[in-house]
Structure 1
Amino acid sequence: MSTVELVGGLVCEHDEQVRIVRRHLPRYIELTRAEPGYLHFDVEQTVDPLVWTVSETFVSQAAFDAHHARVGAGDWGRATAGIKRDL
């Protein structure tokens, strides 16, 4: 079994999207770090206030897939659906 790592970005187009990220991010991080198979997860705003760096590591592809299924069906997925992912 090998770990799955992802490093990418969340790229907002305007300040309203930044407010959405800030509003939902703490709970998103909390839920992700509580998931089975989580090893590492960080989302940090860069020097560009519209861009966030995402770094995540899970113990297996199955754990990574379960994370993304939960995210897609949850508040974070719905709230940030219109924000560009740069993976």
Structure 2
Amino acid sequence: MIRLSGRLVCMSEDERRAVLAHRAAHEAATRAEAGCIAFRIDDTDDPLIFDVTESFRDRAAFDAHQARTRDSAWFAATRSILRDFRVEELRD
């Protein structure tokens, strides 16, 4: 299993609005991907920071997600937002 956890750190209200405008569609598209176990983008106490957690069945599913995301409206709108992520590969 591949697990990603971390934060999206917005530097402006415009970046925050981009996350809010595209979050629901991005979450739904990701959850529908083959191999997606879980995917969440959650608010935090700081309105400019969002917690991100995602889990995929294996490296191939995670890589497919990354490729799809790069061609998405989500990425076009949020590409400049700081991503502070940690990716772990968990073995049985």
* TM-score band w.r.t. shorter chain: over 0.9
**Structural RMSD (CA):** 0.5
Counterparts of 1:81 and 1:43, CA distance in 2: 15
Instruction: Return the TM-score normalized by structure 1.
Output: 0.96
Counterparts of 2:54 and 2:78, CA distance in 1: 17
Matches within 5 A, 1:17-32: 17-32=15-30
Deviations 1:14-58 (A, max 9, x none): 111110100000000000000000001111010000000000000
Matching residue within 41, 54, 68 for 2:52: 54
**Percentage identity across aligned positions?**
41
- Name 1:75's counterpart in structure 2: 73
Instruction: Return the TM-score normalized by structure 2.
Output: 0.91
Structure 1 unaligned segments of length 5 or more: list them: none
Where 2:76 maps in the other structure, the secondary structure is helix
Structure 2 unaligned segments of length 5 or more: list them: 86-92
Determine whether 1:84 maps to 2:82: yes
Matching residue within 36, 39, 48 for 2:37: 39
